[in-house]
Chains A and B, each alone.
Chain A
């Protein structure tokens, strides 16, 4: 097990390196640069700026300097757009915010989604099932870029209960709408997935055997059906956890939370190379770690899997 984890982490290093190199060249080959502006800068002014940010060097040299700065100083470079800040500042400020509402949305989506799915499966074809399925589909049909404006309209303008945006250090009133907006569509997916997985498990032979032995329904579900049922759900939850952090750009846009999603998309549009690469590396590393955790979780859920 330990050797498996170490092996996986070692493989992660070249993976992330490839990610950096590929992103580095992709963004540099995109048309326009960080200092392409409506008023073309006079050549001398542009030269001064490029010298300041090392953009006058050949590409391989820029890449090499970039990598050595990360390895030696853990310095991801300056932002080309936000000239008062550097990439480390931007990540240090935005990531905790994304992490906070992203984790809360993840927990809300998983708990509510799984409960809905399990209840629907147990009461298959009853009104509870239909209600849960319609809720799930309804939630799925409302992605966060639709939920955002609707929530603000209802809770801020009509009811006046919640502030329309901002973060305010993560005060609860400011958290509610971002978490709801981000979690609903995943919640619907998880509910559907759980329901079908549970139905399949409940129809399998070992459950019939357990029932035949005369075990009470509660014990059949909790002791025997739960773990195998969760297996496909867990494989979906891993990527979802990364998605709720990376896919938060709409939440950042609509609720002015100051999270990292907006900085990420903004950096791509403004060709802010260093910010874009920095956040890509962060998300890439996060994906690697979450995938590893998901794989380890499999072993707990399914005794057939051993590392």
Chain B
């Protein structure tokens, strides 16, 4: 029996003790008076792509799906695993078989029980070529037995390594051990799906009038590009501990308009546009919040033969990285509490401890001098200035950062940089085909573990657009998959990345929000920002 089951039992015990108390809402602290109107309204940038758990691929859609459906495991406010439909799980000694025990009182919104069969159906559906889900790559990542053959159509979906032992026992067989497998079950792709409803309504099953879901909420309204509303699911097993009655997502593309509407009281949460945080923090200290997120922002060198010859020289790469004054980028340009980045993996990543890298202990002045020396050593200087082009996708914030970077290089090192911005899809294509010198990159973790970032620099990674290749890194990353303490290996990888500098880390993201002070329990410590409406509450003003 592994840790998780013990944790699950502890949580169960504590909630058993709470039942019987008049208002058994275990996420509302004592002494808090709840507001009469428990409606949470937030802004989303774009219309969601889908609310079908196996199809959804965007953040906006995933937030809705997390409220409508419930997977085997959930995350708590700190991002730790807590029981969802499953009360716990056991792992076999070879770490290949996971047996989840499902709670008996879990129900669909139409009153049907949620059974292991619903998970079997959903997981097969996610891998089925017929479903053509863009998140089949995520299914591939789970290492469930036969998943690649099912996706390629070489095996029937029924051959997938999942099994309903009985109604409340769901068994998963993996093809290789995967330490973070349980964490993956909090992702929408692995949520259950109502087979009978999908078969009855086909593609229209997600319409508000048809949809049946098993989470704390049901979808009651969807006005594309305007808003969507989800309301309390009376059938949800933990309904009595759910406080928020209604969650409304308003689509507002322009972040400044969203901010105006927030200030007019139409919204409980919105994002702060780049550069505006200091002003808002001063005016609304209770409402302007910033916290680290699981994303990085960097520039990648083109290390192929098609890239500039200068970038083959590690001294050039390091000189450019050293000359970046990250404090100016984070404090003056972004100004939203973003942590400056001296390594690839965000410090907020669970379990990750950055090695003590040389440049972290230097002042910017020392780094600038070192940069000049390294560039001179590479043979570039006033007589032979370094020239290259840097590309980024069109966006006001990216442009500000790119301008700042190019000015730093110009003033400190005499480097001539040409800036070029491209529309998103063109940018992806050009970068993917190595048609660049230096290109912007950014990544948000798919799960809370350093490999979600470091794997990007594996020689075989599809996202390694600079084509950095180091056998030692590849080996360390491969070993980490099954290592007892992978974080030691990740620290070694970071050391190598510092020595070779295939990318220039710039900053790590922060969640920068205006959040109404009457919203309780917003999970600022959940670096993935996997939030659940059922855990929030609104205080009477």
Contacts and interface: CB of A to CB of B under 8 A. Distances in A.
Q: Do these two chains really belong together in a complex?
A: yes
B209 interface: no
Interface in A3-39: 30-33, 35-39
A141 interface: no
B257 A44 contact: no
A153 B261 CA distance: 9
A254 B257 CA distance: 7
A31 B429 contact: yes
A306 to B, nearest CB: 46
Contacts of A33: 425
Given A41-B137, A269-B423, A256 B225 contact: yes
B226 A45 contact: no
Interface string B366-389: 000000000000000000000000
B132 interface: yes
A84 B203 contact: yes
B129 interface: yes
Given A83-B49, A258-B223, A157 B429 contact: no
Interface string B428-464: 1110100000000001000000000000000000110
B127 to A, nearest CB: 10
Contacts of A53: 132
Nearest to B433: A31
B424 interface: yes
B260 A253 contact: no
Contacts of B493: none
B226 A253 contact: no
Contact of A149 (B133, B254, B426, B428): B254
A82 B226 CA distance: 14
A252 B424 CA distance: 21
A271 interface: yes
Contacts of B10: none
B308 interface: no
B19 interface: no
A85 B223 contact: no
A224 interface: no
Nearest to A270: B425
A97 to B, nearest CB: 9
A166 interface: yes
Contacts of A228: none
Contacts of A38: 428, 443, 463
Nearest to B128: A48
Nearest to B48: A82
Given A166-B250, A256-B225, A52 B132 contact: yes
B428 A36 contact: yes
A37 B135 CA distance: 12
Given A32-B425, A45-B137, A84 B206 contact: yes
B226 A40 contact: no
Q: Which of A84, A160, A165 is the most central at the interface, judged by chain B CB atoms within 10 Å of its CB?
A: A84
A167 interface: yes
Given A38-B463, A160-B264, A85 B224 contact: yes
Nearest to B222: A84
Interface stretch (B50-58, B328-336, B339-347, B513-521): B50-58
A115 interface: no
Interface of B: 46-47, 49-52, 55, 57, 129-130, 132-134, 136-137, 140, 148, 151-153, 203-204, 206-207, 223-227, 250-254, 256-257, 260-261, 263-264, 266, 423-426, 428-430, 432, 443, 462-463
6 contacts: A36-B432, A49-B132, A52-B132, A85-B224, A253-B254, A254-B254
Nearest 10 pairs of A and B residues by beta carbon: A32-B425, A52-B132, A164-B261, A258-B226, A40-B462, A258-B225, A45-B136, A48-B129, A83-B50, A31-B429
Interface of A: 30-33, 35-42, 44-45, 48-49, 51-53, 81-86, 90, 93-94, 148-149, 152-153, 156-157, 160, 163-167, 252-254, 256-259, 262-263, 266, 269-271
